[in-house]
Chains A and B, each alone.
Chain A
């Protein structure tokens, strides 16, 4: 069975601080996808990144960066120089990749979410 653990329930930082959100996953699949989504107070789910299990290269996008470590089954997310607009719930999620007439995402297993509050 798949499992995603976001051990940090809530994090509170002051603007301009760096913050890292942890994500640890469990799966028996050799091919899988990892995601991060942001859910701001307005409620929508904003896609941030997708990473497949064969690509361990870390990624940077502006103030966001992701550290994928297959050896420790972790996919951590760092926000550099945080801003008030970063305040949201962040979800890490895992999906197996299926082959059934095409490669499809299996169902997503979400972590419990981390509530990030950035104070001015």
Chain B
């Protein structure tokens, strides 16, 4: 498709439950990025992929967070045992090589942990 598709749009989880977010990058884009937006304005980089390989995971919390991009499947971001502070909007972005395409974001998934 021509847009980055993120599902679900909203996700509510009780503290301690698992949350799984999905991202289908634009067709032909080999790079995928995940960002967390907390408090409306602050963006935090989480992880990036080149195809199914982790490219940069320096932003991923060491515990509870994991991500995958498998062939022929949407990419996923999973949070085990969610905490209140995980409440945020999670954005996914994709691109071809930097010289070719801009970085387009999906509409985000709003995760609320209660």
Contact = CB atoms under 8 A, between A and B. Distances in A.
B67 interface: no
The binding surface of chain B is classed by DSSP as strand
A91 B59 CA distance: 20
29 contacts: A35-B102, A43-B89, A43-B107, A43-B110, A44-B105, A44-B108, A47-B103, A50-B103, A89-B40, A91-B43, A93-B43, A100-B50, A100-B55, A101-B50, A102-B97, A103-B97, A104-B48, A104-B50, A104-B97, A105-B31, A107-B33, A107-B45, A107-B48, A108-B33, A108-B43, A108-B45, A108-B103, A109-B45, A110-B42
Nearest to A105: B98
Interface residues of A, number: 28
Contact of B103 (A105, A109, A112): A105
A101 B30 CA distance: 12
- Interface footprint category on B: 20 to 34
Interface string B24-36: 0000001101010
Interface of B: 30-31, 33, 35, 40-43, 45, 48, 50, 55-56, 58-59, 89, 91, 95, 97-99, 102-108, 110
Contacts of A101: 50
**Centre residue among A33, A45, A97, A100 by max chain B CB count within 10 A:** A45
Contacts of B102: 35, 47, 50
The 9 closest A-B pairs by CB, nearest first: A107-B45, A45-B105, A110-B43, A50-B102, A113-B41, A44-B107, A103-B98, A103-B97, A105-B98
A68 to B, nearest CB: 15
A108 B105 CA distance: 12
Contacts of B110: 43
